Chain A
Amino acid sequence: MARIPSIYPHVWRAPLLIWQGLFFVGPLILMVAMSFWLVRNYRMEPDFVLANWERMLTRDYFWSAYQVTFLRASLAAALASLFAFPASYALAFKVSATARRWAIFFLIVPFFTSYLVRVYAWQVLLAESGPVNAVIGFAGMGPFTMLNSGFGAMVGYLTLVMPLVVILQTFSLAAIDRNLIEAAWNLGASPRRTLVRVIVPAARVGLILGAVFAFILSFGDFVSPFYLGGSKPPTLSILIIDTTKSGQQWPRAAVVAVMMILTLFTVAFAAVGAAYRRKA
């Protein structure tokens, strides 16, 4: 007798599919469609023209902003991964489980406050007349211009992504089978060799996911490049704002947004592929 397929797996799956359909796929389709619309008298009218794509993709300022955004997001991902690793390593291997739980709790606490508020706090701290320059001044240096610069924007990006990267790295490192590490030691591997040949490959998924999240969040961030970077130079998110402000060109802004999403898809798929790739 043929087995009647159970409907339960589909029932359990349905909420996720409905959610993604309503709040991701639907808006995404609308945004792609919108990129072919026209604006007449400050009002969007459904159409199918390539003018918005042609206009945005032939502008030097679009590609300049694209380059800046990609490089900054890559740098933020690299720096966050690098700076987070020692902390994650210590939390995973050097402290007690209780201390690790507390540390994870304190890494989550920053998310209780608005990111915008934290960035405003950085504005005060990094100002030429602010506390950071005051401390540097005691050493007879400065004041340094930190706000309205790439440095300022990077501080903002790291504020946004560092806690998340540390958490992802810590979970990944803590899940490594200790027997592998002990085996490496027993076989005479130096600590450095153990780190490079055993720990990092074993935690590869978490390390790559941490970097990818850092890239994704930084790539789309508006707050840091605007409020700490002084829009100098503008990133793609700032370009979206500029495009909508002038002439209410939402369709052209949609072109920028679609390009951003395509980039993020490409990076995310490539990274996930690398994370779960089997060793040849």
Chain B
Amino acid sequence: MSMSHSQPTRRNLLATAAGAALTVPMINRAWAQEPTDINILAWYGHAEPDIVAEFEAQNNVRFVPKYYAGGDNMLALIAQSPPGTYDIILSDAEFVQQLNAAGYVEELDASLFPFDDFWPEYQNFPGHWTGGRLWSVMVRFGLLGVSYNTDTLSREEASSYNAYWNPKVAGKVGHFDWHLPSLGQISLLNGNRDPSPFDIDENAWKAVQERTLSLKPQVGGYFDYGGTFSSLKNGEMLAMCGIGDWITGVLQKDGAPVASVIPEEGGIQWTESYSIGKGSARQEVANKFIQYMLSPGGQVRSIQMAAYPGPSPTKSGWKAIQDANPAEAERSGLIEGHDQSPRKLLAEKRLFLRDIPRQQTLEDWNDFWSEYKTA
């Protein structure tokens, strides 16, 4: 048996050289410094590629997410971890004070962040500052109102929380299974606006409970994040209490006939803010990431986040989304003068910050929620 030995030819030589040239970047990549892990504690979606991939590539970091489901869950995860476990903490704004009180977050340097670019309404967010010291930076927010199936209810019909009692949605009203937003909405329906639907006396609290219990015959179920999506999408639920565009915005992209509207009684604003975890060894890059997320590009990503959209608190963010995706700007009301513009709603006192109960304990509200579910 003979073996053939090929002679080097110009073609072979060129092919080998090209192969080597193409391989070199790979070798370099392998030799490059390993990316630094950034531990982030957040709601689902905040460390997914649509949000962090560009920052990771630019800064040679890798986000390691720990996703939580609710403020209590977040606080517990921090409480059970040693200081320095989390570099970045994304928190619902109403929990920032508790983060700070428990000493779970580092003080932030306000000069690093573009507060001049924030709309005035969001510059001094309650609880984020104490005596001029900054603990957390608002990065996005969203509005909770009436979410409904547009084939069943008209926008006018959905423009009041009374829509939940509409016979057209009998047995088809779902609840996002968290007491704060649902009870906050019923509180608004009862006219508890001054100072807030979450700051109510005992009589008003009793009235909220009675009103909520009267909704029970209309209720079709209580759902988590995934269940809320699927039940609205497949038409099992025709109206959903306690949510807003953060759910229906995603479904709309899929072509589902759903929408959210801030009703005449007013809406509730959820707010998400970044803090730096106490004892983080990577504060510099954490600050850089917060700056990145507050930049126009970061805000466009945040507004269109795949997991759930969230409007921007910055002027440049509004401008950037109007340029990048005018339809999204229109849909989410990020245009001055728009009838669902968050700023307009705030000015009209039709928007209230989601909060923890001020005159009752969280336990009281949660107990009632359990009673309501079993009623």
User: Which A residues lie at the B interface, using CB under 8 A?
Assistant: 41-43, 59-61, 64-65, 68, 123-124, 127-130, 145, 147-148, 226-227, 229-234, 239, 242, 245-248
Beyond A148-B221, A148-B231, 4 additional contacts (C-beta under 8 Å) are A230-B223, A232-B222, A246-B363, A248-B76
- Identify the closest chain B residue to A229 (Cβ): B221
Question: Which residues of chain A are near B370, meaning CB under 8 Å?
Answer: 59, 61, 234, 239, 242
Query: Which of B67-75, B198-206, B257-265, B270-278 makes up part of the contact surface?
Result: B67-75
Given contacts A123-B230, A246-B362, contact A61 B373 (CB under 8 A): yes
Report yes or no: B373 in contact with A231, Cβ–Cβ below 8 A: yes
26 contacts between A and B (CB under 8 A): A42-B75, A61-B373, A61-B374, A127-B234, A127-B235, A128-B234, A129-B235, A147-B231, A147-B236, A148-B236, A227-B227, A230-B221, A232-B219, A232-B222, A232-B373, A233-B374, A234-B373, A242-B177, A242-B369, A242-B370, A245-B70, A245-B73, A246-B366, A248-B72, A248-B75, A248-B79
Question: Which residues of chain A are near B371, meaning CB under 8 Å?
Answer: 59-61
Report yes or no: B80 in contact with A43, Cβ–Cβ below 8 A: yes
Interface residues of B in 176-218 (CB under 8 A from A): 177, 179
Cα A145 to Cα B220 in complex, Å, equals 10
Cα A175 to Cα B219 in complex, Å, equals 50
Given contacts A127-B236, A245-B72, contact A233 B227 (CB under 8 A): no
Given contacts A123-B230, A247-B363, contact A232 B235 (CB under 8 A): no
- Identify the closest chain B residue to A43 (Cβ): B79
Cα A233 to Cα B220 in complex, Å, equals 10
Most buried by A among B224, B234, B362, B370: B370
Given contacts A59-B370, A61-B371, A231-B177, contact A129 B75 (CB under 8 A): no
Question: Which residues of chain B are near A239, meaning CB under 8 Å?
Answer: 370
Cα A28 to Cα B201 in complex, Å, equals 42
> What 5 pairs across the A-B complex have the smallest Cβ distances?
A230-B221, A148-B221, A248-B76, A64-B374, A246-B366
- Identify the closest chain A residue to B171 (Cβ): A145
Report yes or no: A230 in contact with B79, Cβ–Cβ below 8 A: no
Is B367's beta carbon under 8 Å from chain A?
yes
Cα A242 to Cα B69 in complex, Å, equals 12
Chain B: residues with Cβ within 8 Å of the partner, total of 34
Given contacts A129-B235, A145-B171, A231-B177, contact A60 B72 (CB under 8 A): no
Most buried by A among B69, B76, B102, B177: B76
Min CB distance B292 to A, Å, is: 30
Cα A127 to Cα B231 in complex, Å, equals 9
Question: Which residues of chain A are near B235, meaning CB under 8 Å?
Answer: 127-129
Report yes or no: B79 in contact with A231, Cβ–Cβ below 8 A: no
Report yes or no: B374 in contact with A65, Cβ–Cβ below 8 A: yes
Cα A146 to Cα B73 in complex, Å, equals 32
- Identify the closest chain A residue to B178 (Cβ): A245
- Identify the closest chain B residue to A245 (Cβ): B70
Partner of B69, one of A60, A226, A233, A245: A245
Question: Which residues of chain B are near A245, meaning CB under 8 Å?
Answer: 69-70, 72-73
Min CB distance B266 to A, Å, is: 25
- Identify the closest chain B residue to A147 (Cβ): B236
Min CB distance A143 to B, Å, is: 10
Min CB distance A22 to B, Å, is: 23
Cα A248 to Cα B218 in complex, Å, equals 30
Min CB distance B233 to A, Å, is: 10
Cα A227 to Cα B222 in complex, Å, equals 9
